[in-house]
Structure 1
Amino acid sequence: MRRAVSSVLPPEQSAILAKAVRLEWITLVVMTVIIAAVGMAAGQSQAMRTAFVEDSLALLPPIAFLIGVARARKGRSPEHPYGHHRAIAAGHLVSAVALLVFGLMLLYNGLSGLAKGERPPIGAISLFGQTFWSGWLMIGVMTLSAIPPVILGRMKLKLAEQLHDKVLAADADMLKADWQTGLATVVGVTGIGFGLWWADSAAAALVSMSIVKDGFTNVRGAVGALLDRRAAPLESDEPDPLIEKLRDEALRTPWVAEAAVRSRDMGHVFHSEVFVVPVEGARLRIEDLEELHDRCRDADWKAVDTVIVPVDGIPEGLSALDPRSRG
C-alpha cells in the first residue's frame, strides 16, 4: 500500500529543526538586548545609527523562520493539496528582502555622508562620576555586540545545510552583516577619534557592498524558488543531487527504458516528478509503480513528495540520460 505523504520530517531532521527553533528564540532575546544597548550608545554617529536599524531588521529572519516552521507543520488539505512547505520559501523571501534593504540603506547612508562631508559630533559622557569620550562607550558596545552574531551565525549555517533551510541560511547572512557592521562601526568611531571625519561613513559604505551582494543573491534565490525554478543546493545554481538520485533509481528498474526528473523546492522538502518511459512490450502493474515510488522516497529524506509518471516520451524541456537509456 502506498505510504501517505507526511508534513513531519524524519526523526533526525525533526531533532535538528527543534534545535533551530530554540536557536531562533535565543536569537530574538539576544538581539533585543543588543538593539537596546546600541540605541542607548548611538549618539550622533551615522554608523551607530545604521547599526541600530540593522540590528532591528535582524529580528525579521528569526520571526519569519518561526512562523514558516509553524505553518509548514500543517498537513495537506483540499485547499492546500501540496501542503504548507512553501511557507519556508515565503520566509526566505522576507529574510532576503530585509538583508537587501539593509545593505542598500547602509550603502546610501555611507555614500551620502561622504558626499555631504558630514562630521558626526562625538562628545563626552559622564558615568559613575567619571567623564570620558563617548566614543569609548560606542566602541565597547559594538565590540561586545559583534560576538553573539558570529557564534549564532555559524551555528545557524550548519543547521541550514542539514535541513536544506534557506531561511536559516539567509538569517546567517544577516548575522554576518550584523557583526561586520559592528566592526566597521568600531573602525569608523576610532577614525573620528583620530580626526578622520570620513572614517565613519566610509566604513559603513565599504561593508555595505558585501551585504548588498548577499541580499541580492538571496532575493534571486527566493524568487526563483517561488517561480518553481529547478531545485538546487544552498548557495548554488547547480541541480540538487536529489535529481540525479531519483533518475538513478528509475534507470536501474528493469522495465524503465528512459527517465527524467523535474523537481521544485517546496521549503525543506522537494516536490518531484519522475517521468519514466517503459520498455517496449512492458506490462505495468500498480505494484511496479508503487515499488519504484517507494525506492525514490527512500533515496533521500527530501523526496517526501514524489510521484511516478509513466509516459510515451520524455516531456519537452526535460532530457533523459541518453548514455544510460535502454530505448
Structure 2
Amino acid sequence: MKRIPAEIEQDVARARRLEWWTLGWQLSIIVILYFVLGSSQALKSAWIEDILGLVPAAVFLIALHWEQKAPDRRMPFGHLRMNSLAFLAAASALVVMGGWLIFDSGMKLLMAEHPTIGPMTIAGERMWAGWPMMAALAYSVVPPVILGRMKQPVAKRIQDKVLYTDALMQKADWMTGLAAIVGIAGVGYGLWWADSAAALLIALDIAHDGLRALRVAAAELADGAPRALDSSDIAEDARALHDHLQARYPGARIRLRETGRYIMAQVHGATPPAERCDPRDFWPEAVPNQWRLASVSFAPDGIDFDHRLG
C-alpha cells in the first residue's frame, strides 16, 4: 500500500502548506491580542481560542509525518491510525476548552461582574483601550476567513477529519472575533453583560463543534463504520462500497472500518478470488475516491456477529 496515494499527493502537500501558514498566522494573532488583553472576558476567550487553534494544525502535521512511515516489526500495520489519534486530540481540545470557557463566562454573568475597559497610552496618546482591542480583533478575523475557506475543499478531497475540524475552528475563530468586538462595544455603551454574554456564545459554539467531532473520533478508534466528514452519519462512499461488496458476495457479512482517511473491508463467509487483486478492484466504479480502500480481507465462515451497515 502506498503511503500517500498518487491521486491525493498534491492535495496533501497543499494541506501541509496551509497548516504551516495557519501556525504562522495564529502565532501573530496570539501575540497581538496578548498586548491588548485588558479585562475583557470576550477578548480573553478569543485569545484562548486562538491558542487552542494551534492544536489541530500541529497534530495534523505530526500525524502526516507518521502516516508516511513504513510498517515495521513494532508497528506491523503501519501508522495510519496516527491520523485518528490526531483527530481525537483536536476534538478533545475543543471540548475541554469549550467547557472551561462556558463555566468561566457563565459564572461571571451569574455574579454580575462589571468589566472595566479604561484608557491606555499608545505612542504617547491616551485613548479608550477598547479601540486597540477591537482593531486587534479585526485583524484576527481576516486570516481564519481565508484559511478556513481554503481548507474545506482540500479536506473533502483527501478525506481528512483533522483538517476539516481545523477548518471548523477557523470558522469559530472569526465568529469569536466578531462576537468579541460586539461585546467590547457593548461595554463601551454601558452594557456590562455584553462582554460575558459574547464570551458565553463563543464557548457554546466551541463545545458544540468539539462534541460532534469527539463522537466521530471515538467511533473511528472503536472500529466503527466510516463516518462522514461533517456529521456522525455513515459516509456515503462507505454505504456504496458495502452494497457493492454485498452484491458481489451474496450471503457474506461485510464489515467496514475506518483507519485515518482509509477504509478497511472484511468479507466474512466468502471465498477470496483465486488471483491476487488490488483493493481498488473491489471499489464500485461509479463512486469516486478509489484510493480510500486500503485493504480487503476474507475470513472463513464461523462464529461471527451479525453485522449490517445501517
TM-score by length of 1: 0.86
Measured after TM superposition, the shift of residue 298 of structure 1 is 8.0
1:312–1:292 Cα change, 3 Å: farther
Match of residue 275 from structure 1: 268
Whole-angstrom CA distance in 1 between matches of 2:14 and 2:279 = 31
1:101-116 superposed matches below 5 A: 101-116=96-111
CA deviation string 1:123-159 (max 9, x = no partner): 1122233221110111111012111111111221221
**Number of aligned residue pairs:** 306
Could you tell me the percent identity over the aligned residues? 35
- Give the secondary structure class of the aligned counterpart of 1:264: strand
Measured after TM superposition, the shift of residue 263 of structure 1 is 1.3
- Of the three residues 251, 258, 268, the one matched with 1:265 is 258
Q: Tell me how large the CA RMSD over aligned residues is.
A: 2.3
Q: Is the 8 A contact 1:247 1:260 kept in 2?
A: no
- Of the three residues 289, 292, 295, the one matched with 1:302 is 292
Q: Is the 8 A contact 1:277 1:313 kept in 2?
A: no
Whole-angstrom CA distance in 2 between matches of 1:22 and 1:71 = 17
Q: Is the 8 A contact 1:156 1:169 kept in 2?
A: yes
Whole-angstrom CA distance in 2 between matches of 1:270 and 1:277 = 19
TM-score by length of 2: 0.90
1:195-214 superposed matches below 5 A: 195-214=190-209
1:250–1:212 Cα change, 3 Å: closer
Question: For structure 1, which runs of at least 5 residues remain unmatched after alignment?
Answer: 279-283, 322-327
Question: For structure 2, which runs of at least 5 residues remain unmatched after alignment?
Answer: none
CA deviation string 1:253-306 (max 9, x = no partner): 5xx44333211111011221123536xxxxx7622xx34855116852100222
- Of the three residues 212, 216, 220, the one matched with 1:225 is 220
- Give the secondary structure class of the aligned counterpart of 1:273: strand
Whole-angstrom CA distance in 2 between matches of 1:93 and 1:163 = 18
1:50–1:294 Cα change, 3 Å: closer
- Give the secondary structure class of the aligned counterpart of 1:231: coil
Q: Which has the larger radius of gyration?
A: 1
1:117–1:197 Cα change, 3 Å: same
Measured after TM superposition, the shift of residue 248 of structure 1 is 5.0
- Of the three residues 38, 42, 46, the one matched with 2:41 is 46
- Give the secondary structure class of the aligned counterpart of 1:218: helix
Whole-angstrom CA distance in 2 between matches of 1:78 and 1:120 = 59
Equivalent residue letter for 1:228: D
1:292–1:192 Cα change, 3 Å: closer
- Give the secondary structure class of the aligned counterpart of 1:92: helix
1:138–1:320 Cα change, 3 Å: closer
